[in-house]
Amino acid sequence: MPFNYTAPTFSEQQLREEAENLSEQEKREIKLDLYGQRKPFLETNNFISSKLEELEQELISMEDIGAFEQAKQRCPDYVNGNDFRLIFLRKTMFDVKSAAEHIVNYWNLKVELFSEECAFRPCSEADLGDDDLEALQNSMVRILPKNDKNGRAILFTIRKSWHYRCRESFLRAWMVLHHKLLDTNFDAQKNGLILISFDVFPNSPSSVNFDRKLSSALLHFINNCSPFRTVAVHHFFDSPILGFIIQFVMYLMGKEFRQRYCLHRGLRSNEERVAALDNFGITKDMLPTIMGGTIQLD
């Protein structure tokens, strides 16, 4: 899909300069996330009760809550339940204001993507249409079966494989995939999610099929709506064309996400790629065979 070459970009040089200008606290927080050294909050009963009450007051004080108002009426037990609200408190490191904003964003996006008949119940493959299922099954976007050494879930994708008839189908499939993880991986709620993007296909013509609007929508979901905190992104690529395109994506990321984005370019073998990830607590037995691991993906 063609894109606008005049759209704003963010270069690797700008990325380095941005990193140099971070505060010492920001640098420390980023390092903790990248290497999985951040300790989850001690969730005592008093702490949880206090944060849930603060979140309730924050939600009450918000003037524009969009589809969240509908959710309170259509599925009150779910939307007012502690389990649901704790998902977003954990995602935002118990930042109450941010958690409230994420909850509102989540419901706005869910109603936008799904019909009202489906939006106000737990997300599942049963809510996907034929085009959505095709996007889910034919695109290489997989939650890997093992968490990393630090309890972080790993989402593996090959962007070249993304197949969708419309952006909304891919976004619905992406949201359902995250909800499947939510149902099966409690540790990831506390420890976060790692995204590995594997694009080692030199000068592939499909590399130019960059969908800026889809990238923007995915980043909005990841940063503002997802039930998981994406703590690190590892992107492997060797295409000069893709290297050029990445500048457009980095602009869309925003500083917090961008500084957790690790580019792995120029690695010649899977042995080198596995070794690069091992430094971050991701070992060979956690990775798919296509990049030198032991996990066979369908």
Please give the full DSSP string across 217-259, using - where no structure is assigned.
HHHHIIIII-SS-EEEEEEEE--HHHHHHHHHHHHHH-HHHHT
Q: How far apart are CA 298 and CA 142, in angstroms?
A: 9
Q: Which of 148-152, 164-168, 265-269, 284-288 has the lowest mean pLDDT?
A: 265-269
The reported pTM is 0.92
Coil, strand or helix at 34:
helix
Cβ neighbours of 178 (radius 10 Å): 20
Q: Tell me: pLDDT of 132 over 80.
A: yes
Coil, strand or helix at 165:
coil
For β-strands 153-157 and 193-199, DSSP reports them as parallel
Could you tell me if 89 and 96 are in contact, meaning their C-beta atoms sit under 8 angstroms apart? Answer: yes
Q: Tell me: pLDDT of 101 over 60.
A: yes
* 45: amino acid identity, one letter: N
Q: How far apart are CA 160 and CA 208, in angstroms?
A: 10
Tokens of 3: 């894109």
Q: At what angle do helices 167-184 and 212-220 cross, to 10 degrees?
A: 30
Residue 242 confidence (pLDDT):
81
Tokens of 148: 């990393």
Say which residue, 124 or 205, is predicted with more confidence: 124
Residue 1 confidence (pLDDT):
47
Q: CATH classification of 1-34+127-298, choosing from 3.40.525.10, 3.30.230.10, 3.40.1280.10, 3.40.640.10?
A: 3.40.525.10
Tokens of 85: 């609200």
Residue 209 confidence (pLDDT):
63
Residue 253 confidence (pLDDT):
94
Coil, strand or helix at 63:
coil
* 91: amino acid identity, one letter: K
- Residue written as tokens 């704003």? 8
Q: Cite the residue boundaries of each domain of the chain with CATH code 3.40.525.10.
A: 1-34+127-298
- Residue written as tokens 């008093």? 46
